[in-house]
Structure 1
Amino acid sequence: MSPRADAIRNRAKILEVAARVFAEQGAAASTEQVAAEAGVAIGTIFRHFPTKADLLAAIMKDTLARLAERMAAPEATLFGVFTALVAEAAAKRSVVDLLPGLEVTESVAQFRAVVAGLLTRAQAAGEVRAEIGPDEVMALLVAVCQGALRGGWPPALQRRTLSIVFDGLRAAPDAGLS
């Protein structure tokens, strides 16, 4: 295997392991533990990610890119994606708290664009009120996911909370029909 291929493999393995370790233990987890579990030297991590913040930013960028890819699937719906993200947030801790200090602005903008696309599709299908914009959906998504992250919400609470949020987003039935 060429050094380039090996470096690509190491980077992918580091991101995979780091995402799991930080999800399980929070942002205070050590890069030494990530190196040990990834089977690489600590120097290999620092060659790819000079600081812990760089590693955390890379995890967030990778996570947002994977979420955006899932959300861009033709069968994806705004309510389905919202539900899946809340379930994932409730199931694990994350490095989301560090977002304001991380350089992930471009990744967040790409994620927001995908959310806007789902919103447009839902509005065109008459599922979501026309006056709701991407900023409102992003605010709700972030707020509900933060609640689920902090509270480790059980499935019943997730369903009830999402029902309230979705009722607020849904287009009202046509008042002219009986």
Structure 2
Amino acid sequence: MDDATHRPLRADARRNREKVLAAAVHLFTTQGLDTPMERIAQEAGVGSATLYRNFPTREALVEAVYRNELAQLCEAVPGLLAEHPPTEALRAWTLLFLDYVTAKYGMIDALRAIAATGGNPYGESRELILAAVTELMAACTAAGAIRTDITPGDLAAALEGIALTSAGAGHRPQAERLLGLTLDGLAVRP
């Protein structure tokens, strides 16, 4: 790669890229991965040339959408902790986790196809999610609000299990109930 690929985007180019990613998440989730690229550009309010300049293939767009959703999920932690008590921040983050899983679920076949061709769309997903869970649990532990015998790895595994059994928009109520049970199980008992 040359230096041009690593330069920060101009503000307008960054906004256009973000609009394309947001439109793609919405359309992939609601209409499927076969949504025409031109429809995504239209939804984002950009021209097709702008879309293809940022994402030359559907696979590149799918991978970027996935990575962007993961980044937003993990980067939400400090803001949630600043705005809410730790246990409320943890609960709010787990709901964001469900949003992330729902978006990922709609793209799973495309992500598998990318992985089958040698790509690695998942990259450091587990490590990033575990770091987010660790930060949230550390705040809850410091507040004396959760048990100390449950590790971030335990909670991450529980979240993955809920995601595997309750992924998809139609299963959201069940997923939220399972999250509630899991989080209630973390609480310190008198």
Normalised by the length of structure 2, the TM-score is: 0.69
Paired letter, 1:114: A
In structure 2, runs of 5+ residues without a counterpart are 1-8
Alignment of 1:89-128 (within 5 A): 93-96=102-105, 97=108, 101=115, 102-106=120-124, 108-128=126-146
Counterpart for residue 157 of structure 2: 139
Counterpart for residue 66 of structure 1: 72
Q: Does the 8 A contact of 1:10 with 1:40 survive in 2?
A: yes
What is the alpha-carbon root mean square deviation over aligned residues?
Answer: 3.0
Q: Does the 8 A contact of 2:162 with 2:175 survive in 1?
A: no
Cα offsets for 1:52-82 (capped at 9, x unmatched)? 2221222222222222232222225223322
> Match of 1:72, SS?
helix
- One of 22, 30, 48 as aligned partner of 1:42: 48
**Alpha-carbon shift at residue 6 of structure 1 (Å):** 4.3
Q: For this pair of structures, how many residues does the alignment match?
A: 167
Cα offsets for 1:65-122 (capped at 9, x unmatched)? 2222322222252233224543x469xx523425563524245533431221001122
> CA 1:103–1:16 in 2, change beyond 3 Å: closer, same or farther?
same
- One of 67, 71, 82 as aligned partner of 2:94: 82
> CA 1:26–1:144 in 2, change beyond 3 Å: closer, same or farther?
farther
In structure 1, runs of 5+ residues without a counterpart are 174-178
- Of residues 109-118 and 40-49 in structure 1, the stretch that sits farther from structure 2 once superposed is 40-49
Distance 2:175 2:152 in 1: 22
Normalised by the length of structure 1, the TM-score is: 0.73
**Percent of aligned pairs sharing the same letter:** 32
Q: Does the 8 A contact of 1:78 with 1:119 survive in 2?
A: yes
> CA 1:154–1:129 in 2, change beyond 3 Å: closer, same or farther?
same
Q: Does the 8 A contact of 2:41 with 2:47 survive in 1?
A: yes
Q: Does the 8 A contact of 1:129 with 1:171 survive in 2?
A: yes
Counterpart for residue 176 of structure 1: none
Q: Does the 8 A contact of 1:65 with 1:107 survive in 2?
A: no
Q: Does the 8 A contact of 2:23 with 2:43 survive in 1?
A: yes
Paired letter, 2:162: V
Distance 1:28 1:163 in 2: 34
